[in-house]
Amino acid sequence: MEGQLTFSTFILSLSTSALVNLGELPDPLNNEKDVNLPLAKQTIGLIEMLMEKTKGNLTEDEDRLIEGILYDLRLKYIEAAKKV
């Protein structure tokens, strides 16, 4: 079904939100790149919580996706924090 929300699309949506708050992507509302580290940290924490709470219930692909996204977001967060 087109447009159906899956766990993977939900995680990707959260990741996109974190990337916007890290200044990696432009804000869709004003098309500007702004950094909001507290909000980025909160979103990364939310993804970490979801990973912990869903442990053992994810497919191999979902597990790889969430681990890869968290790895990338954590690195980007560290880089963004160094610039502040």
pLDDT tens readout for residues 2-42: 678 899 999 999 999 999 999 999 998 999 999 999 999 99
Q: Which distant-in-sequence residues (6+ apart) come within 8 Å of 51 by Cβ?
A: 66, 67, 70
**pTM of the predicted model over 0.85:** yes
Q: Which distant-in-sequence residues (6+ apart) come within 8 Å of 28 by Cβ?
A: 20
Q: What is the helix (H) or strand (E) element at residue 56, kind and residue range? A: none
Return d(Cα 12, Cα 31) in angstroms, integer.
20
83: amino acid identity, one letter: K
Domain ranges of the chain: 7-83
The radius of gyration computed from the CA coordinates of the chain, to the nearest angstrom, equals: 13
